[in-house]
Amino acid sequence: MKESVFALVDCNNFYASCEKLFRPDLTHRPVVVLSNNDGCVVARSKEAKQLGVKMGVPLFQVRELMQQHGIVAFSSNYALYADMSQRVMSTLESLTPQVEVYSIDEAFVDLSGVAQLHSLTAFGLSLRQHIQKWIGITVCVGIAPSKTLAKLANHAAKTWPKTAGVVDLTCASRQRKLLALLPVAEVWGIGSKLSKRLQQLGIHTALQLADANPKFIRQHFSVVVERTVRELNGESCIALEDMAATKQQIISSRSFGERITDKQQMREAISEYICRACSKLRHEQQYAKHLTVFLRTSPFSDKDAPYSASKSMALDRPCNDTRIFLAKAMQLLDGLWLDGYRYAKAGVMLADFYDPGVYQPGLFDEPAAHPDKQDSDQKLMQLMDSLNAKHSKTIWFASQGAKQEWGMKRELLSPAYTTNWQQLPIVR
């Protein structure tokens, strides 16, 4: 029987690395990337970390440090990061037998059987070199017989430079040596609350958790933590997923760059969120039957009266047509809107998903549209998605507005180097 071998490939300081990639002048300078509305630090380059910039710190608290050390800040450039992520994942798919995209900057790959043909460390170094050469992004590779151990191997590859960015934990003695060095909180799936409970039982390191009795752990915690114990001992309990699990809900929401006091601007915002959510819904090849719209003022402002509300409705039958959800969302907004408030955030949620063709209508439901019209409606939505995927916001609904003055504040936004012809970098 073929033994399982997994690798976790993780991009180093991904957002900051994407920003540096097209700015050679920033190669050795500290860089940070900011959250929505340029509020907090959400990504840091290696140099920024060494200067003591903490994750999640508000921008205003580190302005003096930034000026002192010449730290360069960028607004989050989601178009750039998504495109670079896709390039990294496509490269992995071309070089490895099977890939599970875990997040925008991480992927598990199946290396079972590779050890019969190559040294696993050499193969990991080859992956790292190819991605660096073809994409320009540096990755670290952790290799192990289980996903949980691969996560820890990747952590070691990032932590200790002497590893050259690749750690192979297929050897049991190496596994135990690393587990003894790591606190239990570093284990994948063990958060701060669980680690505190484990420490009360005398389990402080990853090795102590690995040596714990699985039945005892299951009795005091859950089958999930028991599975983690088995994974730490090299037993693969979490298989590689060929396809990402279907979402149970889709939420599209943003904080506004400026407070909204005008209902028409709120209509534009809700329309924008509906269009994004429906596009994602079609990408998942799903239909939704439940819609929620919500809005609120800022809970952190003394100047704004508190107000938070949401309304939901179920459609007569599942659909993924943006036009239908737009009409329903405006009805819900009419029931939510109150004059006199300064709204800080709003959003929409789609839920109750169905696969195509599986919904069974009720006996007294309104008859569905003629099949020819249904087909033409689907083709229209597909055409919009196709055009907007190639050229961002080529076609949009008038209700989304043209200027969108309520949009996110991104004053430090870098160009869309790879997705906009007008913003391609020029080499002189």
Residue 204 lies in a domain: no
What letter would DSSP give residue 116?
A: G
Would you state the pLDDT for residue 416?
86
Cα separation of 176 and 55, whole Å? 30
Q: Count the Cβ atoms, other than its own, within 10 Å of residue 428.
A: 2
What tokens does 321 get?
Answer: 């047509």
For 226: left if phi > 0, alpha if psi spans -120 to 50, otherwise beta; the answer is alpha
Helix segments in 189-295, DSSP class H = 192-200, 206-210, 214-220, 223-232, 263-283
Domain span at 293: 249-360+369-400
Cα separation of 174 and 143, whole Å? 12
Residue 189 lies in a domain: no
Would you state the pLDDT for residue 364?
55
CATH of the domain at 396: 3.30.1490.100
Would you state the pLDDT for residue 362?
60
Task: Please compute, for residue 288, the number of CA atoms within 13 A of its CA located in the half-sphere on the CB side.
Answer: 30
Ramachandran angles phi, psi of 293, nearest 5°: -120, 135
Residue 417 lies in a domain: no
Helix segments in 143-249, DSSP class H = 147-159, 172-181, 192-200, 206-210, 214-220, 223-232
Q: In what order do the strands lie in the sheet with 343-354?
A: 249-260, 343-354, 287-297, 308-319
Ramachandran angles phi, psi of 316, nearest 5°: -65, -35
Looking only at Cα atoms, what is the longest distance across the chain? 71
Residue with token string 């943006």: 322
Cα separation of 186 and 195, whole Å? 9
The CA–CA distances, whole Å, from 395 to 125, 262, 265, 276, 389 equal 44, 25, 19, 13, 10
Would you state the pLDDT for residue 254?
83
Helix (H) / strand (E) element for 329: namely: helix 322-336
Helix (H, G, I), strand (E, B) or coil at 35: coil
Number of domains in the chain: 1
Cα separation of 294 and 309, whole Å? 6
Residue 62 lies in a domain: no
Residue with token string 């279907």: 246
Q: What is the pTM of this model?
A: 0.77
**Vertex 235: Cα angle to 229 and 238 (nearest 5):** 85
Residue 102 lies in a domain: no
Would you state the pLDDT for residue 243?
54
What tokens does 178 get?
Answer: 């690393």
The torsion defined by the Cα of 365, 369, 375 and 380, in degrees rounded to 10, comes to -100
Residue 418 lies in a domain: no
Residue 57 lies in a domain: no
Cα separation of 198 and 360, whole Å? 48
The dihedral built from the CA positions of residue 392, 332, 334 and 259, taken in this order, carries a sign that is: negative
Single-letter amino acid, residue 34 = L
Would you state the pLDDT for residue 97?
85
Residue 217 lies in a domain: no
Closest-CA residue to 13 (of 25, 30, 38): 30
Cα separation of 251 and 283, whole Å? 14
Cα separation of 413 and 270, whole Å? 23
Q: pLDDT (tens digit, 9 = 90+) per residue, 313-366?
A: 999 889 999 999 999 999 999 999 999 999 999 999 999 888 887 666 665 556
pLDDT by residue for the chain (428 residues), tens only, comes to 458 899 999 999 999 999 999 999 999 999 999 988 888 999 999 999 999 999 999 999 999 999 999 999 999 998 899 899 999 999 999 999 899 999 999 999 999 888 777 799 999 999 999 999 999 999 999 999 999 999 999 999 999 999 999 999 999 999 999 999 999 999 998 988 899 999 999 999 999 999 999 989 998 888 999 999 999 999 999 888 755 555 678 999 888 888 899 999 999 999 999 999 999 999 888 999 999 999 999 887 778 889 999 999 999 889 999 999 999 999 999 999 999 999 999 999 999 888 887 666 665 556 666 666 777 888 888 888 888 877 767 787 888 887 777 666 778 889 988 888 888 887 77
